[in-house]
Amino acid sequence: MRGPVNLRIFQFGNLFLEQVSGIPIGGPVSGAVLEGVLSLDEHMFEQYIWPTIASTCKLQGERQKWLTIARYVDDIFIASRWLCPHCVEGIVTHIYKNTINFDRACDELNYIDGYTIVKFLDLWIYLSWSNQFITLVNKNDLFALSGINSLHVKNRFPIAYGSTTYLRKRITCDLQGRIAKFNQFNFSPNMSFLYLVMDFAELMRLGYGPIFLETYWKKAASDLGTWEIGEAALERLKAVCRKTRPAAKLSGGRCCLPRSQGLQRAPQIGARTISLQDLLP
């Protein structure tokens, strides 16, 4: 199984390129191959390597008591209340020493109010001695607040251009996905409100009008309570628009415009920077 992990030659036009670091990901079988190889390493660690480490260091009890390990494809999260960072890095080397090397990423590590906060994939993980919880990363929050295109770092939603049928289905599906994440993380109504108001602000920056968003939020919301949270978020954004241009009407009569017009006729929040004070309930 290790042979396919070394398949690092790619064709780009008439050029052949070799990937010099990381794992080749993206082919039709790459996910299955990667999972098979790394799962074998992890099994060997749990069965043979960890018992040796635990015996040497006199660590009693299950491994989960001393060390938390989670991997998604080629990203790994590993944390311990008891072991130092140097020892934790050494354990990662023990697990995957025959296959790959992981780069250490601590640029998103913070310590606030007794919590260690670390970014893993699209999640913020908060850890303390007595509690832990997870929130979502919104990579486009600065774009949603400011409207500055250079701060739009991830294409989470399509711009308001193209097939109306496709856009309706896509936005409804994306909103349903957000609701599922809120439920999965057991978000409070206030937390859901804050994320939704940022999502709707980003969509309005991309040219979607409030009427469009109201219609498809209603289709996406699975219950009355969830629908009311989204409606409150949209009402807050409408208030921001009215505050900016009291005499102007909110766009939303058309859900899709030609690209050249869509960016010019973006909702009124495009004319100003939004402060968090404007958005908080």
Q: Which two tokens stand for residue 96?
A: 């995957």
Band of the pLDDT at 119, cuts 50, 70, 90? Answer: confident
Residue 104: is its pLDDT beyond 70? yes
Q: Is 165:133 a contact under the CB 8 Å cutoff?
A: no
The pLDDT tens digits of the residues spanning 168-215 come to 899 999 999 999 999 988 899 999 999 999 999 999 888 888 888 999
Single-letter residue type at 199: D
- Give the pLDDT of residue 241: 74
Residue 268: is its pLDDT beyond 50? no
- The residue among 26 and 236 whose pLDDT is bigger is 236
Mean pLDDT of the chain: 80
Q: Is 37:1 a contact under the CB 8 Å cutoff?
A: yes
Q: Which two tokens stand for residue 276?
A: 């968090």
- Give the pLDDT of residue 176: 94
Name the pTM for this structure.
Answer: 0.67
The pLDDT tens digits of the residues spanning 46-76 come to 999 999 999 998 999 899 889 989 898 888 9
Q: What is the DSSP string of 84-144?
A: -HHHHHHHHHHHHTTT--PPP--TTEEEETTEEEEEETTEEEEE-SS-EEEEE--TTHHHH
Give the C-alpha distances (Å, rounded to integers) separating 206 from 132, 140, 162, 240, 247: 35, 12, 13, 17, 22
Q: Which two tokens stand for residue 50?
A: 């960890």
Among the ranges 19-28, 139-148, 259-268, which has the highest mean pLDDT value?
139-148
The rounded distance, in Å, linking the Cα atoms of 140 and 147 is 10
Band of the pLDDT at 44, cuts 50, 70, 90? Answer: very high
Residue 35: is its pLDDT beyond 50? yes
